[in-house]
Homo-oligomer: A and B are copies of this chain.
Amino acid sequence: MSLSSPHVHVETAPLAAALAFATPSARRFLLELDLPMRHAGQRRLRVRGQWRGPADAPWVVVAGGISAGAKVASDERGEGWWPAQVGPGRAIDTDRRRVLAIDWIGADGSLDQPIDPADQADALAAVLDRFEVPRLSAFVGASYGAMVGLQFAARHGHRLDRLVAISGAHRPHPYASAWRTLQRQVVALGREEGQVSRALSLARQWAMLSYRTPEEFAARFDTPAVLDGERARVAAEDYLAHCGQRYAARWCSTAFLRLSESIDLQQLDPGGITVPTTVVAIAEDRLVPLSDLQALVESLGGPARLRVLRSPYGHDAFLKEDAAVARVLRESLEVAA
């Protein structure tokens, strides 16, 4: 049986068994997929993911930033990346919906090739095929996940009821692309010189500046620089170093380089999307400016609306503004419940 869209030809690997095993609250899987990738050609990929929620509930895909993965809700096995929004009784209610998420293609560092956001959308469609899920009641994506959600809506819209795209657009903003390419060049320098971890930490610290805002830094780090030996240390330095080191300990440079690059490969005609879409913008977002999300909403080919939130956390607001984000999610999803 194949539920593949006519736009993408996904060959499932018949000899590779779908490895699915239960945990008390989530069902995890590891699939092998043969995927025709946009830039990297035909590839056999291993895709990890998990779902949770009742068997008869409508399916919802949840997707986050390039460093977010399949573990969305928190449970006894540890922290998910969006526990405030996904779980029993939450806005994305795992008592009433079956929530599916994957680790991004490339997140394990095994694929050193250009990865298009369209490839992630096709991988998700192939996963749905494998589990014989004909359609999704919703795709909720934030940041890179919103880019992938837009690709899913454009390429597999016939099997999607509703898209919620938070802080992600049909294109990367040219200034944000410049910011990311410099991060990648720092990592490239570190790789050549055997300083991968230090360079990856630096790149993550640069990324943090793009995820947050001057307003937050002004409130948190309003103390003068101090001389430490013969060098000045500025107030945000320890916080940033901590963020960088934690990231570098968990991620490999290939995954960072290819997923960062993937954001910059986003290209999409919003006119081809007819799925009802809610776009959520943060007025203070320095990475995905409101103006790009306004342009997106104005050019979508189907019913579309824009919700604008304000937050000192900028691009990271979807991870920090729990109440406001929950309100928008409930409001956007209730028609598709």
Contact = CB atoms under 8 A, between A and B. Distances in A.
Interface residues of A, number: 54
Q: What is the copy number of this chain in the assembly?
A: 2
Interface in A215-245: 217-218, 220-222, 224-225, 227, 230-237, 240
Interface string A157-182: 00000000000000111111111111
Given A178-B221, A221-B178, A240-B182, A234 B190 contact: no
Nearest to A219: B174
A289 interface: yes
Contact of A202 (B186, B195, B214, B217): B186
A192 B189 CA distance: 12
A310 to B, nearest CB: 16
Contacts of A94: none
Contacts of A234: 172, 174, 177-178, 180-181, 264
Interface of A: 39, 112-114, 171-182, 185-186, 189-190, 192-193, 195, 198-199, 202, 205-206, 209, 213-214, 217-218, 220-222, 224-225, 227, 230-237, 240, 261, 264-265, 267, 286, 289
Given A174-B234, A175-B214, A186-B189, 4 more contacts: A39-B227, A114-B230, A174-B214, A231-B261
